[in-house]
Structure 1
């Protein structure tokens, strides 16, 4: 039986990395499979050093599946950093399956003894993954550029005030804490990160 390792990532602690968990579970169930291990973290896709992703790769055995929702959950890295990550994934014997890359999903049903089909799929998916990784990085760079341009324009007009606090979220956090939930549980219930909970309690 194929061992599936699911990886969930959100860009910042203000986002909930578990949001896509149901989608991955539904996909695996539809394929008659079960996710054996979860690796969840809040970290930027532009960051090469990610604790949970590194742990997943270290834990992996040849033939395991690395299941993700989208390729950009795995990488928004520069080309050189992506090449290093891809090499580590391949060295661990992992096959990446992504919900937004249909050709990769064939890896769920390829027999371990079918070496030719497996190698063909690996070659095709490696090329497509490179393309999607490049698109993900370009999207990140474009958004950062537009954000910087917008801030500069707002500053020039004297209307830039920085990022406003989410008062509705902060009130919900305070109410959860008053009910006795821990900071970690409060973050999970509010759908935010621990740092957001801590900021709300200080405000």
Structure 2
């Protein structure tokens, strides 16, 4: 059995390695070693997360995927969560989360009956916490939208200021011929922002048609 830690933060401004100490302590207290750590800056609402799927690809049946909280693994919609769960189940990977005590025994060797019992309870609780994480995300987005609407109505909303240093770095990487995936991984920017900056860059270098 290998224990593989997954550490995720939503943006490049956040520290994906923040939870490393808590995961290392959890492992040390239970006498097992974390074999590998996979860190990335991607939204938990996205199913496409390269490091998470690299982790799953590296796993063998019975390996443990260790996370600080279930929401580090998923803030997915119900259909996307089912897809991720299907991938996890197909690999026979056991999820252990620090905020899910029912999962802790999955990291310790037990008899087959006890293991199946803990797995059944844990799977149910995983579904519950994944649903809660998604609802929390949707509630926060709704409150943000309501706050923005009130600010606009009052004439107080000025929008989010552009991150000029990051955008300049993205522009330089585009000029150097770096791929979009490389740029998004390096800067944490969204595909939408990258498309906008790429379009603006192409427009700035187009030859003028004026006479």
TM-score w.r.t. structure 2 length?
Answer: 0.76
How far residue 131 of structure 1 moved from its aligned partner, in angstroms, is: 0.4
Instruction: Return the offset for 1:163.
Output: 3.0
**Which residue in 2 is equivalent to 1:119?**
116
Q: Larger RCO: Structure 1 or Structure 2 (Cα < 8 Å, ≥ 6 residues apart)?
A: 1
Cα offset for 1:13? 1.5
State the match for 2:77 in structure 1: 78
2: distance between equivalents of 1:157 and 1:165? 22
DSSP-derived class of the 1:120 partner = helix
Counterpart contact for 2:148–2:157, Cα < 8 Å: yes
Q: Distance in 2 between matches of 1:194 and 1:59?
A: 25
CA distance 1:23–1:165, change in 2 (3 Å): farther
- Distance in 1 between the 2:18 and 2:7 partners? 8
**Which contiguous aligned blocks of 4+ residues in structure 1 show a shift greater than 4 angstroms?**
none
Residues 60 and 93 in structure 2, CA contact (< 8 A), matched pair in contact too:
yes
Q: What is the total number of aligned residue pairs between the two structures? A: 168
- Residue 164 of structure 1 deviates from its aligned partner by 5.1
Structure 1 residue runs without a partner (length 5+) = 171-192, 197-203
For 2:159, the equivalent position in structure 1 comes to 162
Compared CA separation, residues 74 and 163, structure 1 to 2 (3 A): same
Q: CA deviation at 1:194?
A: 3.8
Q: CA RMSD in A?
A: 1.7
Cα deviations by residue, 1:22-77 (Å, 9 ceiling, x for unpaired)? 11011101111110001100000000010000101111001100000000000000
TM-score, with length taken from structure 1? 0.79
5+ residue gaps, structure 2: 166-185, 190-211
Give runs of aligned pairs for residues 28-177 of structure 1, distance below 5 A.
Answer: 28-111=27-110, 114-163=111-160
Q: Is 2:6 aligned against 1:7?
A: yes
**8 Å contact from structure 1 (residues 110, 117) kept in 2:** no
